Amino acid sequence: MNDLRTTPFNRTGTAPGEVVRNRVLRNTYWLLALSLIPTVLGAAAGLYTGLAQTMGASPGITTMVFLIGAFGLMFAIEKNKNNGLGVALLLAFTFFMGVMLSRLIGFVLGMSNGASLIMTAFGGTAIVFGAMAVLSTTIKRDLSGMAKWLFVGAVVILVAAVANIFLQLPALMLTVSVLAIVIFSAFMLVDLQRVVNGGETNYVSATLAIYLDVYNVFANLLMLLGIFGGNRE
């Protein structure tokens, strides 16, 4: 009779690697859902403290604060991803991102149908996330090779977005938003599949990556809806 302590399966007949993957995926989804709360609180703080208006009046300074704050917090999260501080820093990061998002939300809420546009963007993002989650479990081909090309695309988008602060070209803004939705939707698929396949074993890092994907899809979808579907009062 086999000794259960020496077999590569637990009592439920599940391989240890699968147990780890399921735990990381479950914790990632829970932390991702939790991260939405500080994001909403940050957006509300930006709106009700007047920070959104201040950021709108100084786009260049706002961009510098955003880049320094976002990359600084992401670096700190990765350095502490294996302890409780990493979770706290992640939640602080999502609050910061919510504050940064308040400028766009304030702009959209200034429209007569602003609230419905925000809900539409949220619903659209949820649909994208659901589709990518399903695809990540059904596509058998390893998509990790796409990551480097998507990263290049993300860098190009970032540079174009920063440049457009000074250029103020509507066509470039629209192009950046459309490409961002496509690229970060693909990033979402890659990041989710990496967790599903066991390539990512730290749920803090996984949550950070997927949160950025969701955030960028939502923000750029909301931007497009505000441009094409907004009704100014």
For residue 198, give the DSSP letter. T
**230 pLDDT tier (thresholds 50, 70, 90):** low
Q: Round the average pLDDT of the chain to a whole number and report it.
A: 88
12 pLDDT more than 70: no
Q: What is the mean pLDDT of residues 117-126?
A: 95
Cα separation of 97 and 45, whole Å? 11
What residue spans define the domains of the chain? 16-229
Tokens 């693909």 -> residue: 186
Give long-range contacts, CB 8 A cutoff, 24+ apart: 24-27.
24/195, 24/198, 24/200, 24/201, 24/202, 24/203, 24/206, 25/195, 25/196, 27/203
Residue pLDDT, tens place only, 203-228: 999 999 999 999 999 999 999 998 88
Alpha-carbon span 79 to 86, nearest angstrom: 8
Condensed to tens digits (0 to 9), the pLDDT of residues 53-107 reads 888 888 888 889 999 999 999 999 999 999 889 999 999 999 999 999 999 999 9
pTM, rounded to two decimals: 0.89
Q: What residues does 232 pair with on adjacent strands?
A: 111
Mean pLDDT, residues 190-210 taken together: 92
Residue type, 49: T
Nearest-angstrom CA–CA distance, 69 and 207: 18
